[in-house]
Amino acid sequence: KNQVEQSPQSLIILEGKNCTLQCNYTVSPFSNLRWYKQDTGRGPVSLTIMTFSENTKSNGRYTATLDADTKQSSLHITASQLSDSASYICVVRGNQGGKLIFGQGTELSVKP
Amino acid sequence: GAGVSQSPSNKVTEKGKDVELRCDPISGHTALYWYRQSLGQGLEFLIYFQGNSAPDKSGLPSDRFSAERTGGSVSTLTIQRTQQEDSAVYLCASSLGPSGGGYQETQYFGPGTRLLVL
């Protein structure tokens, strides 16, 4: 079982609508959690990074939340744009200086 | 400023041949990572270099894979006797280094090398 599970696998929404992507993890001990956006054919780009003491972090229209007790994170996208169409990847670091554990990603498609 | 660069951007090779992929991290970044992304799959960690410490090679899938980082900067990933299942996008990322979870750990990814083994 993957230590970082994302849902849904894929999502289609209309331009202007909001959406929320989920990430559940079992990695322990936990150091930090990041959300990346990966456009097709490009490398991932960091959106947010949160430590266990942070509950929420925003980056423009992207807002990430973290509940370290339930080991859940969400990425909320407000007023979606066509350029938001991408894969969104949740990544957890389990211990200081160690490797990152990647979720399988959620493929978001924003339609006009 | 200059980001992470990788070369070649695309590589087609015959099964059994060796290939070498190159990564130029952002200047001053002490941490460097190699990942593999197969079609429709998530990112798979391969190897992690941090400063002068021994690299974390726990993600390398077989002994055909090796990587080195010369002078704490440029890194090369070598795949010997390539197999068709090695076909994937190989991504390199760098960061300032571990710092307790702060922004310094943000990884900046290169554009990747698309490897196709025929």
Compute the distance between CA of residue B87 and CA of residue B94 in angstroms, rounded to an integer.
23
Compute the distance between CA of residue B101 and CA of residue B78 in angstroms, rounded to an integer.
30
Query: Backbone phi, then psi, for B85, in 5-degree steps?
Result: -70, -5
Strands A72-77, A62-67: pairing is antiparallel
Q: Does A51 contact B106 at a Cβ distance shorter than 8 Å?
A: no
Which residues from chain B sit within 8 angstroms of residue A101, using beta carbons?
A: 45
Residue A43 buriedness (CB in 10 A; 0-12 / 13-18 / 19+): buried
Tokens encoding A19? 């959406």
In chain A, which residue's Cα lies nearest the Cα of B34? A99
Which residues from chain B sit within 8 angstroms of residue A105, using beta carbons?
A: 42
Would you say A31 and A37 are in contact if contact means Cβ atoms under 8 Å apart?
Answer: no
- AA identity, residue B108: Y
DSSP letter assigned to residue A81: -
Q: Please give the pLDDT value at position A30.
A: 79
Q: Which residue has the higher pLDDT, B77 or B53?
A: B77
Residues 61 to 90 of B: which have CB under 8 A from any A CB? none
> Is A72 in CB contact (< 8 Å) with chain B?
no
> Is B43 in CB contact (< 8 Å) with chain A?
yes
- B97 has pLDDT over 90: no
Question: Which residue numbers in chain A have pLDDT < 50?
Answer: none
List the beta bridge partners of residue A35: A48, A90
- Residue B17: helix, strand or coil by DSSP? coil
Q: How do residues B26-60 score in pLDDT, each as one tens digit?
A: 998 888 999 998 876 778 889 988 888 888 888 89
Q: Please give the pLDDT value at position A98.
A: 58
